[in-house]
Structure 1
Amino acid sequence: MKIIAVIPARYNSTRFPGKLMEKLGDKTVIATTYQNVVATGLFQDVFVATDSEIIYDEILQNGGKAVMTGEHETGSDRIAEAVNNIDCDIVINVQGDEPFLKTEPLKQLIQVFEEDRAQEISLASLKIQLQDYEDVQNPNNVKVITDNNGYALYFSRSVIPYPRETSVPTLYYKHIGVYAFRKEALLKFSQLEQKPLEIAEKIECIRYLEYGMKIKMIETQFVGVGIDTPEDLEKAKKLLK
């Protein structure tokens, strides 16, 4: 299998415009993410996919590879355009605002496809248990519930499952936006019409579920910092130190 990583990077993010070009130490957030993904040694190639000339130039000036794309609603749609003419079997999507992703979770995602002999899994992704109920209630944290085999049943910004019965403990998992796709599933995704659930929640992987595709969730213990707000950037700077 040829495995590559693609980092979708949009300059004008809704909550924190320009965040990928903010400084994290002596490098920008996007350059840090790119270099950390390359440093894992897991991929035959690593690209940034962006519609921003600013980000495109930043990656090239730091010795990296970037692909210019059109404007897209989701990162998956952007990656699909970027890899359409790239020879690969598996595409790992690493978010540009997740600079501290570790090697082990990426290995686990790759292993899903190495073990999927029947090639039934369209994509794999990561989840981490939430300990603080305030984090569970935060709509910026996308929650996921799975079946007994670890396949995603649903993703939501709401509290799922809802703890109506309080006599037994309820476990909550946050979806970490790192995906591993089969290339053909990714290209199919980009051709599918958005349905009401995805539009309502603004969670792109719901589209896969609405069209009956399988998503394997892998639990990780990794705790990093996704940079969604200026406050997150300050946390990331402290973590870097």
Structure 2
Amino acid sequence: MNIIIVIPARLNSSRLKRKMLVDIEGEPLIVRTFRQACKARCANQVVVATDSGEIAEVLRASGANVVMTSENASCGTERVAEAARALDGDVYINLQGDEPLIDPANIDRVAEPFLSGEDPDCATLVYPVLPGDFATIDDPHTVKAVTDKDGYALYFSRSPIPYRREGFASTRYYRHLGVYAFRSDVLRKFASMKPSMLEREESLEQLRLLENGFRIRCMKTELDAPGVNTPQDLELVRHLFRTHRDVR
């Protein structure tokens, strides 16, 4: 099975200017993420998809394979789908470019259902929220996931789901980690569909799949690391690179 990791990267970012090129202890953010992706065992190839000549130049100087895409993508998965037209994969892993600390084992984890013969439409990762961590559960910037008994997604939301009506101690909450693996045919279909009502309302692209009847396998993981979305996130990640040798 030919598994290809595609990292979508655009230069403009609303919360952190020119985010992909910010310096993290001597290397740009996008290069750091690319290097982590290359450590995954599941993939035959790692590609960065970008509409920025500046990002492409930096990556090529670091030895990365780059596919140029248009400026019209409304989300990262659409950019991955555009890049996939120039590739020949069976499964595509969409890894966000702002994840310089991602554990390669998490990339391998999201590929597991395809390698084991389960063959879902899409797979993604969920991380258990500690019991009583209501700050995380109620945070609209933290995406929550609810699954069925077999681990397939029922819904993703920025709202606290499930709703705490009784507050049972046994109720489990999961935080969604935005790494996706798509079958190639499903990726093409995703890009051909218009953004859905739920996707637009929650600003969550995975809801386009659920709203159109596709099944998303949620793989549980105990591994997590901060991404970079804000200046505060950037300083935290820089600190971790300075103080923890094992993140390099």
Question: Which bin holds the TM-score, normalised by the shorter protein?
Answer: over 0.9
1:43 corresponds in structure 2 to 43
Partner of 2:115: 114
State the distance in 1 between where 2:64 and 2:171 align: 44
- Which amino acid in structure 2 is aligned with residue 112 of structure 1? P
Look up the match of 1:10.
10
- The alignment's TM-score, normalised by the length of structure 2, stands at 0.92
Structure 2 CA distance for partners of 1:81 and 1:167, relative to 1, 3 Å: closer
Give distance in 1, aligned partners of 2:89 and 2:30.
23
Code of the aligned partner of 1:61:
A
Gaps of 5+ in 2: 243-248
1:64 corresponds to: 64
Q: Deviating runs (4+, > 3 A) in structure 1?
A: none
Greater mean deviation of Cα atoms: 215-224 or 107-116: 107-116
Q: CA, structure 1 residues 103+167, in 2 after alignment: closer, same or farther (shift >3 Å)?
A: closer
Q: What's the Cα RMSD here?
A: 1.3
Q: Which string of whole-angstrom CA distances, capped at 9 and with x for unpartnered residues, describes residues 33-55 of structure 1?
A: 00111133432111111111121
Residues 147 and 154 of structure 2 are in contact (CA less than 8 Å); yes or no, is this contact kept in structure 1? yes
Q: Kindly provide the amino acid, as one letter, of the partner of residue 74 in structure 1.
A: C
Per-residue deviation, residues 144-185 of structure 1 (Å, max 9, x unmatched): 100000000001111111101124343221111101111110
Quote the offset at 1:85 in angstroms. 2.6
CA distance in 1, matches of 2:159, 2:15: 19
Structure 1: 5+ residue runs without aligned partners? none
Q: Matched residues in 2 for 1:104 and 1:36: separation?
A: 10
Please state if 1:126 is matched with 2:150.
Answer: no
Total equivalences in the alignment = 239
Q: Percent identity at matched positions? A: 39
Instruction: Give the Cα–Cα distance (whole angstroms) in 2 for the partners of residues 45 and 115 of structure 1.
Output: 20
TM-fit CA distance, 1:17:
2.4
Counterpart secondary structure, 2:105: helix
Q: Secondary structure at the match of 1:96?
A: coil
Give the Cα–Cα distance (whole angstroms) in 1 for the partners of residues 168 and 109 of structure 2: 34
Q: Which residue in the other structure is 2:231 paired with?
A: 230
Distance 2:144 2:26 in 1: 34
AA matched with 1:26 = G
Instruction: Name the stretch that deviates more: 200-209 or 107-116.
Output: 107-116
Note the alpha carbon deviations across 1:187-229, whole angstroms, 9 max, x for none: 1100012221111001000000011111000111112011110
